[in-house]
Homo-oligomer: A and B are copies of this chain.
């Protein structure tokens, strides 16, 4: 298990991470939202109560990597985390499709990659570890236009992770495997925002990456 007693883990991203968290991103009840961060915290606390891991949810709905960069200091660095996870990129791709006519909202693959790289570089020196999770589109057909584009952004995440030596979680691959048994629209009606089963899949993928044992 890579996380150690008392470690502070900040998990950032977009609406998948946010999941209706409260502004503090920690505290009693639904403070960490109802998504995978809540589940990660619940699994860590119930299985490793003695480790006292401190999980904070800093996901924000609608974010691309551009907005994430804008709030990085305040939301991540200032909290002095031991571990940081990032799950960003779905909106970077999606805006090309659902706001097709508003190019100022589109984040190019280049901007995506370089910004992500910058966030990792600026953070690594002060933390014990980072986890990058790829964006995904729960659509098995890799020729589908948004899936095809998403795969390029997911590849960029893997490249950045490899280059900087941080952990990487291939969420797209996890969802592809699940979708062999469960119809993709059952996991997420819009193929993006998963039901609790999909969130648990993300939580498990993250935990497996940091060496969690059930």
Contacts and interface: CB of A to CB of B under 8 A. Distances in A.
Copies in the complex: 8
A127 interface: no
The CB with the most chain B CB atoms within 10 A, among A28, A143, A181, A199, is that of A28
Nearest to A45: B197
A6 B50 CA distance: 37
Contact of A185 (B98, B141, B183): B98
A121 interface: no
A45 B177 CA distance: 12
B97 A42 contact: no
Interface string A75-117: 0000000000000000000000111111000000000000000
B97 A182 contact: no
A4 interface: no
B97 A41 contact: no
A190 B138 CA distance: 13
A183 B100 contact: yes
A69 interface: no
A159 interface: no
Contact of A190 (B27, B45, B189, B197): B189
Nearest to A187: B45
A183 B93 CA distance: 13
Given A28-B98, A54-B101, A190-B190, A43 B183 contact: no
Contact of A178 (B49, B186, B201, B204): B49
Nearest to A198: B46
The CB with the most chain B CB atoms within 10 A, among A52, A183, A196, is that of A196
Interface of A: 26-30, 32, 34, 38-39, 41-43, 45-47, 49-50, 52, 54, 97-102, 141, 143-146, 177-178, 180-183, 185-186, 189-190, 195-201, 204, 213-214
5 contacts: A42-B200, A43-B200, A47-B204, A97-B183, A189-B190
